[in-house]
Structure formats: structure tokens, C-alpha cells
A and B are shown apart, each in its own frame.
Chain A
Amino acid sequence: AQTVTQSQPEMSVQEAETVTLSCTYDTSENNYYLFWYKQPPSRQMILVIRQEAYKQQNATENRFSVNFQKAAKSFSLKISDSQLGDTAMYFCAFEGWTSYDKVIFGPGTSLSVIP
């Protein structure tokens, strides 16, 4: 069974600085997708970034980028130039090609951006 681990329950970063959130996963599948979702205090879950495992190039979305290490089964999220609006829970998620559309979420990392 697939599992997703986020080893940092809480993190903080100064505004305008860079922060990296860690995520590891366990799977026997070769093809899969990885996601980072953001949940601000409003509770709304929002997709931040997505990575296809068959792509070697790391995904980027403006200030958000990932470091995808397939062999190590690691998928970290880097937030550059942190902003107060980045304060939220961040969930790493996994979807295997054979998992019939089930997305497995990690336990989340609570990020606080300090002014």
C-alpha cells in the first residue's frame, strides 16, 4: 500500500525568505503523480503544484517549485520569497496509475510566515 510521510508537523519562515517542505512516499509503482495542496485558515483546499513521475524536469509554478527525487521517493516543495498569504497547511499527495484515481494525502505541514 502506498504511504505518504511529511516529517515536519510545523514550520515557520520569515517573510521574503525561502522555505522547503519535505515529503517522502512509498510505492511499488513506476508511474504515478505527486501533488502539493495548500489549505489556508479558510479551510479551502487548493492545488499548488503537480508532478508526473515520468518527467525528469522538476515542476515550477511561480514562487513554488519541487525537488523530485524518484529513486529516493522524495518530493519536497520550495517556496521562494515567502508571503504572509502562504501561511497554511500544506499536504503532499500521491496518486498511482493503478490506484484507480485514489489520492493518498500526507498528514500535512503547518507553515507560518512571520512578518
Chain B
Amino acid sequence: DAGVIQSPRHEVTEMGQEVTLRCKPISGHDYLFWYRQTMMRGLELLIYFNNNVPIDDSGMPEDRFSAKMPNASFSTLKIQPSEPRDSAVYFCASSTLHHSYEQYFGPGTRLTVT
């Protein structure tokens, strides 16, 4: 398996633009997680899905952020409009079953909003 795939790896955009981050989880994994990592706040869970259904989105910072999982092999995290404070590395992770199972992380997307 190729592991968790994220695209793009790097994104530079101007403030106010829409940004869409993409994730393909490992085949057969039924949990998908979106994290944001910054120097100031560390690694934060934004939202996670189970069987394509959002379970907990309490970490989503505000209405400018939205996430979807239209099928078991694809998820998006969208920021509209983007702001400089959204600059961070965004990770997608997937896992199988639940409780104590390893989360497999993608390589991350480094987002820079100017």
C-alpha cells in the first residue's frame, strides 16, 4: 500500500483565496483524521470521520473551515477565505477499527497564506 496520500505537498496562496487540501486514506481504513500543526499550538485535531461520517468537528477553528469525505477513499479540507494565521502543516491520518490502533499519517501539506 502507498500509505496515506496528501496533495498538494506545498501550497502558497494569497489571503482571501480558497484552499482545498486532499487526502486519500489507506485502503480498508475506516477512520480518517485531519490535524493541524503549528509551532505555537502543536498538533491539533480538527475533525475526524468514521465510515465517511463526521464524528467530531469540535476542533475546526471556525466556519471558514469545512471538511468532507464523499467516499471511503477521499477526503477534503477546505478553507474559504484563507487568512495568514491559517499557515501551518496540515496532516491527514487514517486508522482501522478503533482504540489503540496506530494512526498512519500522510506526509502533510505545508500551507502558507500571504
Contacts and interface: CB of A to CB of B under 8 A. Distances in A.
Contacts of B93: 45
Nearest to B100: A33
Chain B, interface size category, equals 20 to 34
B99 A102 contact: no
Contacts of A104: 45
Contacts of B48: 101-102
Interface string B77-114: 00000000000010101010011101101011000000
B75 interface: no
Contacts of B103: 45, 47, 103
Contact of B89 (A35, A43, A95): A43
B42 A97 contact: no
Nearest to B98: A101
15 contacts: A33-B100, A42-B107, A43-B108, A45-B91, A45-B105, A46-B105, A47-B102, A50-B100, A100-B55, A101-B31, A103-B45, A105-B43, A105-B45, A107-B42, A108-B43
Give the 6 A-B residue pairs with the shortest CB-CB distance, closest first.
A45-B105, A33-B100, A105-B43, A47-B102, A107-B42, A101-B98
